């Protein structure tokens, strides 16, 4: 039996992340954060048939009088829209949700972001409980309080900071996750080691097989440690005025790749987010080495670990370095003084570096 990991997240609205196998059937854990008489279970068409009945049954066992409704939407990033957000609010209205109602987000980051934003807005803010079912959602999107939907003009352009009331991660839910989604989440796990702790990279190097096999104990520890790294930086800088930006290691390059490919990851015609971040982290590490900041051996080590997880580590063929550079200039992370990157001094020690010359960036991109 794998013990439950609990990560306490501090700040103005503290909450706990609980991680263990079997939590989606655990009446007491699921019902503990619910305050009122109503709950809206939000999920997508892939996840709901797998897990929604179990969650609903556990809630009904634990609190027989609870009014529960479901809002199940089609899966995918292109559904993270204002229109679906509006439908989710309509479902809250249909439920007769009052200020003490709870939104329960059962799914990956798309569901967590959209349901969290609906909770942030309904009656100016009600509780959301996150039940993440992708590794990415467990280690990243369910923690930290950012919620959002996309607009046709860009990702995550409308949203709010709205911390969850609780996060409950059942590691067994990952057994049904497609391999590619698992690997995407592992890229974000590696990211925490790259930014904050070379010792965590050692730990990951010794557990590649267990993590790829979705071993509950290995996954639970990886999730707990990742949440702790994210929590520490979010507690220091909840609104991303400073250190929280470190979490964007690999993301300036990664976003440029995703945008340049037209977010074709879902169809297999391009990299998904985690894959793009894997490539982006290697590029950031190479750029750090070329700028004389960090040893090239650390970039080699990062690349080797990502490769063992089955992640891409080089720019996909056909992407033009100059086009990527132009994308990065447009990215909101580029400020007036020039391109700003998260680079590292060595594995486990990242920092913000401003005014990185275009020539160095193009060099790292191989252009
Ligand atoms: P996702 O929610 O689209 O899930 C990926 C796919 O896996 C979907 O098709 C989903 O239906 C399916 N799925 C989910 N759980 C499953 C399971 N257990 N078994 C089988 N299939 C399952 O994508 P994601 O990678 O979880 O999240 C990406 C989103 O997260 C993006 O919209 C991104 O902007 C957001 N995000 C937010 C934050 C934040 O801080 N709020 C941080 C990182 C990412
Ligand atoms: Zn990311």
Task: Provide the total of helices (H) and of strands (E) in the chain, helices listed first.
Answer: 14, 11
Closest CA to 3 of 187, 164, 217, 246: 217
State pLDDT tens for residues 70-118: 999 999 999 999 999 999 999 999 999 999 999 999 999 999 999 999 9
Indicate whether 168 and 198 sit together in one domain.
no
Q: Which of 113, 148, 176 is the last residue of a domain?
A: 176
Indicate whether 143 and 192 sit together in one domain.
no
Indicate whether 194 and 271 sit together in one domain.
yes
Greater model confidence, 269 or 131: 131
In a domain, 304, yes or no: yes
Catalogue the active-site residues: 124, 146, 188, 230, 240, 244, 248, 251, 255, 273
Q: Which ligand is nearest to the CA of 190?
A: 2
Element of type H or E holding 69: strand 67-73
Indicate whether 200 and 311 sit together in one domain.
yes
**Domain around 140:** 5-176
Indicate whether 298 and 336 sit together in one domain.
yes
In a domain, 238, yes or no: no
Indicate whether 48 and 132 sit together in one domain.
yes
State pLDDT tens for residues 233-276: 999 998 888 899 999 999 999 999 999 998 888 887 899 999 99
Q: Which residue, by CA, sits nearest to atom 4 of ligand 1?
A: 108
In a domain, 235, yes or no: no
Give 337's pLDDT tier (boundaries 50, 70, 90): low
Average pLDDT over residues 184-191: 98
In a domain, 244, yes or no: no
Q: How many CB atoms lie within 10 A of CB 250?
A: 30
Indicate whether 163 and 271 sit together in one domain.
no
Rounded-to-integer distance, Cα 86 and Cα 218, Å:
39
Rounded-to-integer distance, Cα 137 and Cα 118, Å:
17
Rounded-to-integer distance, Cα 164 and Cα 130, Å:
7
The answer to whether 33 touches 165, Cβ cutoff 8 Å, is yes
The answer to whether 159 touches 146, Cβ cutoff 8 Å, is yes
Give 309's pLDDT tier (boundaries 50, 70, 90): very high
Q: Which of 126, 148, 176 is the last residue of a domain?
A: 176
Average pLDDT over residues 29-55: 97
CATH of the domain at 12: 3.40.50.1970
Task: Give the pocket of ligand 1 (CB within 6 Å).
Answer: 44, 46-47, 50, 75-77, 80, 107-111, 113, 133-134, 136-137, 140-141, 144, 146, 155-156, 173, 176-177, 181, 184
In a domain, 218, yes or no: no
Listing DSSP states for 212-236 in one string gives HTT-HHHHHHHHHHHHHHHHHHHHH
In a domain, 237, yes or no: no
The answer to whether 198 touches 209, Cβ cutoff 8 Å, is no
Indicate whether 160 and 254 sit together in one domain.
no
Q: What is the pLDDT of residue 99?
A: 97
Please determine, for residue 335, whether its predicted confidence score (pLDDT) is greater than 90: no
Indicate whether 255 and 312 sit together in one domain.
yes
Greater model confidence, 175 or 239: 175
Please determine, for residue 300, whether its predicted confidence score (pLDDT) is greater than 70: yes
Give 338's pLDDT tier (boundaries 50, 70, 90): low
Query: Up-side HSE of residue 206: CA atoms within 13 Å toward CB?
Result: 6
CATH of the domain at 253: 1.20.1090.10
In a domain, 83, yes or no: yes
Indicate whether 152 and 183 sit together in one domain.
no
Please determine, for residue 333, whether its predicted confidence score (pLDDT) is greater than 80: no
Indicate whether 207 and 169 sit together in one domain.
no
Q: What is the pLDDT of residue 239?
A: 85
Closest CA to 111 of 130, 138, 86: 130
Indicate whether 206 and 335 sit together in one domain.
yes
Ligand 1 atom closest to the Cα of residue 156 is 34
Q: What is the pLDDT of residue 334?
A: 56
Q: Tell me how far CA of residue 120 lies from CA of 114, 147, 240, in angstroms.
A: 10, 8, 19
Q: How far is the CA of 169 from the centre of ligand 2 (A)?
A: 18
Average pLDDT over residues 168-192: 98
Structural domains counted in the chain: 2
In a domain, 224, yes or no: no
Greater model confidence, 339 or 38: 38
Ligand 1 atom closest to the Cα of residue 44 is 11
Which long-range CB contacts under 8 A does 350-354 form with residues at least 24 apart?
350/194, 350/195, 350/196, 350/246, 350/249, 351/246, 352/245, 352/246, 353/291, 353/293
Residue % of the chain over a pLDDT of 90: 89
Q: What is the pLDDT of residue 207?
A: 98
């Amino acid at each position: 039996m794998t013990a439950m990991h609990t990560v306490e997240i501090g700040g103005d609205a503290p909450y706990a992340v609980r991680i263990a196998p079997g939590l989606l059937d655990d009446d007491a854990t699921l019902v503990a954060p619910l305050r009122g008489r109503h709950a809206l279970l939000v999920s997508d068409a892939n996840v709901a048939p797998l897990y929604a009945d179990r969650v609903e049954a556990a809630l009904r066992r634990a609190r027989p009088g609870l009014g529960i409704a479901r809002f199940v939407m089609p899966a995918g990033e292109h559904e993270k829209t204002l229109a679906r957000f509006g439908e989710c609010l309509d479902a809250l209205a249909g439920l007769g949700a009052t200020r003490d109602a709870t939104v329960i987000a059962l799914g990956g980051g798309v569901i967590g972001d959209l349901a969290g934003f609906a909770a942030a807005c309904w009656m100016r803010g009600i509780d959301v409980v996150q039940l993440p079912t992708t590794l990415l959602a467990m280690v990243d999107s369910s923690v930290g309080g950012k919620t959002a939907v996309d607009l046709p003009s860009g990702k995550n352009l409308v949203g709010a900071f709205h911390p969850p009331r609780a996060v409950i991660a059942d590691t067994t839910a990952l057994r049904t996750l497609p391999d590619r989604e698992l690997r995407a989440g592992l890229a974000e796990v590696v990211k925490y080691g790259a930014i904050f702790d070379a010792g965590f990279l050692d730990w990951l190097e010794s557990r590649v097989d267990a993590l790829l096999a979705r071993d509950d104990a290995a996954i639970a520890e990886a999730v707990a440690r990742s949440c702790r790294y994210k929590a520490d930086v979010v507690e220091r800088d909840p609104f991303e005025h400073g250190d929280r930006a470190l979490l964007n290691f690999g993301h300036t390059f990664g976003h440029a790749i995703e945008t340049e490919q037209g977010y074709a990851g879902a169809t297999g015609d391009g990299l998904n987010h985690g894959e793009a971040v894997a490539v982006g982290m290697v590029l950031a590490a190479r750029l750090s080495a070329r700028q004389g900041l960090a040893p090239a051996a650390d970039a080699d080590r990062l690349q080797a670990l990502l490769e063992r997880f089955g992640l891409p580590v080089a720019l996909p063929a056909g992407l033009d370095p100059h086009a990527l550079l132009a994308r990065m200039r447009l990215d909101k992370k580029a400020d007036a003084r020039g391109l700003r990157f998260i680079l590292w001094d060595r594995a486990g020690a990242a920092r913000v570096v401003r005014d990185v010359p275009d020539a160095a960036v193009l060099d790292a991109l191989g252009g």
